[in-house]
Each structure stands twice: as structure tokens, then as C-alpha cells.
Amino acid sequence: MAKEFQDATFQNEVLDSDKVSMIDFWAEWCGPCRMVGPIVDELATEYGEKANIGKVNVDHNPEITQKYRVMNIPTILFVKNGEVVDKHVGAAPKAVLEQKLKAHM
């Protein structure tokens, strides 16, 4: 399962991480988010030792959502060394997200 990142812990869990982070910005009411969520969970299971993979509920974490100017969900950010290195907006098949993840590992 993917981790649940929150405003209060984002700096420590993501920005200060020595691994690449993949963050899924989502909401319970978002249909496409429900399609991407299981894919993110699968990738977290498969790459959990090599990457930092988690989710941010935009309704519960407005600080992170605003900081990264997430206007549409799902939005997937890839963060390495505290910087956004890639981004995907909208639903995507597993192969697309996995390719982006591997490119930054």
C-alpha cells in the first residue's frame, strides 16, 4: 500500500528523502483518482524498497496542494532531492507511471 503523506510530515517524508518520491494527489470524490489509486498501491508494493510512493488527499492537505499548484486531480508528482523532476496530470496506465518512476530512480 502507498503511504499517506500529510502537510505536517511532507518535508520529512518526501523532500528530505534520499529516494525518489512519487506522490498521487487525489480526492475521494474523484472518479479518475479511483482508477489511478490501485495502480499507485501496486507500484508502492513493487518499488517500496527503492522509491518513496504515497498519496496526498487534496481535501485534507491544502498546504501541499497549494504549494505545488495542483489544479487538477489526479496529479502525480515525482520528487527527487527535494525538487519536482516530473509530473503527470490525469489518469494513466501503470506502464506510463512505472516508466516515469524508473527514469528517476
Return the bridge partners of 80, or none: 83
Alpha helices in the chain (DSSP H): 10, 31-47, 62-67, 94-103
Is 33 annotated in the active site? yes
Catalytic residue among 22, 33, 43, 70: 33
Catalytic residue among 30, 39, 40, 44: 30
Q: How many CA atoms lie within 13 A of 94 on its CB side?
A: 11
Name the DSSP letter for residue 104: T
Is 80 annotated in the active site? no
Which residue from 17, 8, 62, 102 is spatially nearest to 25, judged by alpha carbons?
62
d(CA 47, CA 76): 16
Q: Which residues are catalytic?
A: 30, 33
